[in-house]
A and B are shown apart, each in its own frame.
Chain A
Amino acid sequence: MSNSKLYKGSLNTIILKLLEESDKMYGYEITQKVKEITKGELNITEGALYPALHKLEAEGLLDVEMQKVDNRVRKYYKLTEKGTKETANRLSELEEYIRTMQTIINPKWSIS
């Protein structure tokens, strides 16, 4: 992942946000979607993605569905009910964080 230290803390929220917008997604699809949205600026590696997905699954925020696709088994992730609520919380936390950072970095342009 580029700028890894800055992005690392937001990875779980990024995953939750993407899953909120889709019904279900698999690992590689998530990496490609992030790459596409950020125009290649953010590149999530397997080493960061899968542990994050497994952690969210263990916390009960994600549910898993296995499907046989093109000669192999694919593991799809989707939000649970708890995950949907948590996504809203984490997104508002992240927005608050961005606003705070903005007031520090660029006080003239800050909203409040």
Chain B
Amino acid sequence: MKKLTKEDIQFIDRYLSNSGIHYEDVKIELIDHVASAIECRMNNGDERTFYYVFKEYMIENKALLEKQGKPYQWKTLKSVLKMFISNLFSIKSLIGGLLLFIGLWFFNNFLYEKYTFTALSISWTLFIISIIPFVKLRKKKYSFIGNLLLFDALLYYLGFCFLDTVEYNSTAFYIALCMLSLFCATSFKTMSYLITFYKKRFQLI
């Protein structure tokens, strides 16, 4: 029974990374799929070395594999969206959003009364949430986290567009700020859940 060596597996890993498949959760499954297919061919009478069998397999299947590795996929984004919505009105998100809003309101009214500062505070919070996975997961990328970051970016862009249209310190301004604070807290909760989930699932690596 022929089995691929550690070097062969690393070669497949590098090849898939160079083909734009960067998410670990997607790549791990594809590495095993490609390796199993190559081993099957080698055990069914193909006497060539790993490189030639791999090359032939890739000519036949590369397009399909690359399709799997697309960074943003509607199905993944939809699942992330569902998760985000179910977290939106959880007690933790509501309390976190409220505390963030009170903090921003306090800064805005008593310490530094400037629209730019308030708006930037939300950006900083978003920035902190975005770098958590890079710190916690040692730069490894995962599909749900990548799609959550994309969703966050869209949400905050729309939020700021709205903040721009309302009068500074008006009721609408504070409602928008309150909503953005809630989104920040929900994003943090969803991100924490995903990091724990991926860390637990991929602890073998």
Which residue numbers of A lie inside 8 Å of B, CB to CB? Answer: 26-29, 32, 45-47, 50-51, 54-55, 58, 64, 66-75
Contacts and interface: CB of A to CB of B under 8 A. Distances in A.
A12 B65 CA distance: 20
Nearest to A29: B36
Interface residues of B, number: 28
Contacts of A27: 29, 32-33
Contact of A72 (B35, B64, B65, B201): B35
Contacts of B4: 70-72
Given A71-B6, A74-B32, A28 B37 contact: yes
Determine the main DSSP class of B at the interface with A: helix
A50 B68 contact: yes
Secondary structure at chain A's binding surface: helix, strand, loop or mixed? mixed
B15 to A, nearest CB: 14
A26 B28 CA distance: 12
B76 to A, nearest CB: 8
A73 B31 CA distance: 8
> Which one of A28, A46, A72 has the highest number of Cβ atoms from chain B below 10 Å of its Cβ?
A72
Contacts of B67: 47
A72 B204 CA distance: 10
Contacts of B61: 46
Contacts of A50: 29, 68
Nearest to A53: B29
Interface in B39-83: 39-40, 61, 64-65, 67-68, 75, 79
